[in-house]
Amino acid sequence: MKLVDQTLLMMAGTSGRWYEAELHRLKGDLLVRGGAPSPAAEVCYETAIAVAARQGARLWQLRASNALAGLWCAQGRTPEVHALLAPLPASFDEKIMIPDLGLTKALLTEIA
């Protein structure tokens, strides 16, 4: 967690932000694994999604969305999970099969 926070702080002073969204997602994952309250992790995931969307980084957006969806599924917030994930598979070529996209589709199937 300390390393992620330090890297985010260093990144704030530079123009190199290509990995920023993934760092926010990782911080959310660390908070969840550390037993932190879910609102703190949720903020990290939402920040990651917003940064990735702004940068056009679809893979980072997909990963952060999957992480947030997992948190919401555990809370029984399935309508929000569906609204978050449903548009994402269409933004990728059908021929592309990456584990993150497979997870998105599995989560959508699970809540259907």
What would the mean pLDDT of 93-108 be, rounded to a whole number?
Answer: 91
Mean predicted confidence (pLDDT) in 68-74: 95
pTM of the predicted structure, to 2 decimals: 0.88
50: exposed, middle or buried (C-beta count within 10 Å: 0-12, 13-18, 19+)? Answer: middle
User: Is residue 24 helix, strand or coil?
Assistant: helix
Please report the pLDDT score of residue 15 as a whole number: 65
Using the predicted structure, report yes or no on whether residue 12 has a pLDDT greater than 70: yes
Which CB contacts under 8 angstroms, 24+ apart, belong to 27-31? Answer: 27/1, 28/64, 28/67, 28/68, 28/71, 29/67, 30/1, 30/4, 31/1
